[in-house]
Amino acid sequence: MNKFLKMLLISMIVILSIQSYAVADEDTPGIPYFGTGANVTDQGNGIYTVKTEGDKEKEGFVYSASDPFTSTKVEVQVSLKGKGTVLLQVSETDPRGRFIKDKNMEIQLTEDWTTYNLPFELASKSSQLDVLIVTKDAEKAEFSFKDLKILNK
């Protein structure tokens, strides 16, 4: 009986400690930018740095819009700086994830912050929109971005 109580106590301690870690993980907010062949790090003050691996073209990050659209006319706005050439790409899918269309703009990065705007017309206000900023070629790259917004027009 004494062994049974010790095992029960140990089991309860393990379960309680695991639950506290699970709750702690839920409280830690993640960044909304998903790296594709790249690491995205938060530098603070709304500035993020992207470091690509250079293994293939179109490495960078993806941002999926979560707010509903009030218009079919939108504009993606972002400020960038760094070296090299990247693509600012907008990709539209329907609510079931089927591809509708995309549009991209080639950007030659500079060492100074520069704001870029890419207008886009949605097929429907219920569409899903992904914004990608990716390398044009297979190369290691490092760039920074801030103020990524999708504006309803």
pLDDT, residue 86, reads 96
Which two structure tokens, joined as six digits, stand for 120? 């886009």
Per-residue pLDDT tens digits for 85-94: 999 999 999 9
Query: What's the whole-model pTM score?
Result: 0.78
Give 131's contacts (C-beta < 8 A, 6+ positions apart): 62, 63, 64, 65, 76, 78, 88, 89, 90, 148, 150
pLDDT, residue 84, reads 87
**Distance (Å, rounded) from C-alpha 133 to C-alpha 33?**
10
Per-residue pLDDT tens digits for 75-125: 999 999 999 899 999 999 998 999 999 999 999 999 999 999 999 999 999
DSSP-derived letter for residue 46 is T
pLDDT, residue 52, reads 94
**Nearest by Cα to 73 from 132, 133, 134, 117:** 117
Residue 132 has pLDDT above 60, yes or no: yes
Per-residue pLDDT tens digits for 13-61: 556 555 544 444 455 457 789 999 999 999 999 999 999 999 999 999 9
